[in-house]
């Protein structure tokens, strides 16, 4: 006698919902080196697992400083000097610089690539890693873990289009905190940002104003005689001062928008703390602050 049995159903475990962390203090915003995950890649030998971590804001800044994009050549067009970004030599140099930064990111956030400098590391990868798609897959996974395209504004529930009764009501509507959520490996970080008054923004710009550039002599192209002076915008110290002023302005704006003070007694110390956070979490917060909270565009602007 054959006994028929009913196949048992294997219970499928429900996915663990991500932990929601409301970022109300510096301790709630982890450093990039602690944000880790695994990425699977289907290689020619089968699936392989790569253990990666997030790239920090400071690491990204350093990579761009170490491997900047080349300056495009210029050409004349109808009497106007324009940049020739389609020049073959320029395109090749720009692609080479980008590839070095890709390799540098993998070197920072996965494993050290053989080579004494980025040029040597990029050469090793181009010689030994035969599938460019694998390089891009690993690079994109690191960027995603670092917060790229991971942030979204939390849209509040629509109100019933109330009539604005007085100036105070209008003013208060621009001073509320707006939630911004960043999703990453098993977590959702929620930041509540507030805007800044135009007065406060102007004060920050003035406080972070870079010094005047040094002057350099102007010489007559034919005689070689000195005919005057002009600002030297390419002076190394001046360029460094401009970059620092720009970074300090971002630090001051973000600190006032967040519900907590950034650690440190000076802008330099606050920036160093911020540089340790995941790069696209920092950039995403700054973009959301500048484009969506401090700025306003009516829909008619897009017509």
The CB density around residue 70, as the number of other CB atoms within 10 Å, is 14
The tokens describing 262, both together, are 């950034």
Per residue in 13-26, pLDDT tens? 566 777 889 999 99
Per residue in 60-111, pLDDT tens? 999 999 999 999 999 988 889 899 999 999 999 999 999 999 999 999 999 9
Same domain, 188 and 102: no
Same domain, 202 and 157: yes
Same domain, 120 and 24: no
Same domain, 158 and 109: no
Domain ends where: 94, 128, 145?
Answer: 145
Percent of the chain scoring above 70 in pLDDT: 91
User: What's the structural domain count of the chain?
Assistant: 2
Which residue range forms the structural domain that includes residue 170? 12-30+152-303
Same domain, 140 and 157: no
Domain ends where: 145, 169, 203?
Answer: 145
Mean pLDDT of the chain, nearest integer: 89
Same domain, 159 and 282: yes
User: How far is C-alpha 57 from the geometric centre of its chain's CA atoms?
Assistant: 7
Same domain, 169 and 266: yes
In a domain, 128, yes or no: yes
In a domain, 123, yes or no: yes
pTM score: 0.86
Angle at 62 between CA 28 and CA 84, to 5 degrees: 125
Angle at 287 between CA 285 and CA 288, to 5 degrees: 65
Same domain, 277 and 243: yes
Same domain, 158 and 293: yes
Domain ends where: 128, 145, 162?
Answer: 145
Same domain, 134 and 162: no
In a domain, 5, yes or no: no
In a domain, 57, yes or no: yes
Same domain, 25 and 42: no
Strand ordering across the sheet containing 187-193? 19-22, 187-193, 178-184, 151-153
Does position 4 have pLDDT exceeding 60, yes or no? no
């Amino acid at each position: 006698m054959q006994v028929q049995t009913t196949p048992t159903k294997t219970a499928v475990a429900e996915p663990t919902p991500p932990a929601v962390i409301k970022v109300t203090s510096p301790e709630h915003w982890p450093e990039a080196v602690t944000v880790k995950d695994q990425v699977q890649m289907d290689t020619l030998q089968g699936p392989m697992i790569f253990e990666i971590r997030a790239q920090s804001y400071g690491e990204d800044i350093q990579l761009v400083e170490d491997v900047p994009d080349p300056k495009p050549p210029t050409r004349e067009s109808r009497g106007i000097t324009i940049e020739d970004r389609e020049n073959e030599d320029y395109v090749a140099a720009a692609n080479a610089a980008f590839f070095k930064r890709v390799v540098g990111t993998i070197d920072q956030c996965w494993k050290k690539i053989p080579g004494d400098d980025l040029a040597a590391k990029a050469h090793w990868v181009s010689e030994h890693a035969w599938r460019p798609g694998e390089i891009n897959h690993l690079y994109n996974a690191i960027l995603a873990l670092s917060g790229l395209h991971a942030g979204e504004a939390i849209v509040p529930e629509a109100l019933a289009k109330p009539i604005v009764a007085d100036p105070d009501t209008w003013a208060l509507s621009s001073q509320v905190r707006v939630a911004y959520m960043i999703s990453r490996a098993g977590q959702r970080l929620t930041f509540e940002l507030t805007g800044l008054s135009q007065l406060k923004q102007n004060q920050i710009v003035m406080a972070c104003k870079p010094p005047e550039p040094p002057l350099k002599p102007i010489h007559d192209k034919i005689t070689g005689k000195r005919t005057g002076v002009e600002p030297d915008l390419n002076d190394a110290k001046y360029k460094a001062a401009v970059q620092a002023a720009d970074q300090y302005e971002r630090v001051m704006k973000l600190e006032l928008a967040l519900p907590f003070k950034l650690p440190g007694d000076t802008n330099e110390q606050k920036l160093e703390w911020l540089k340790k956070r995941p790069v696209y979490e920092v950039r995403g917060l700054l973009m959301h602050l500048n484009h969506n909270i401090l700025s306003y565009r009516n829909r008619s602007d897009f017509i």
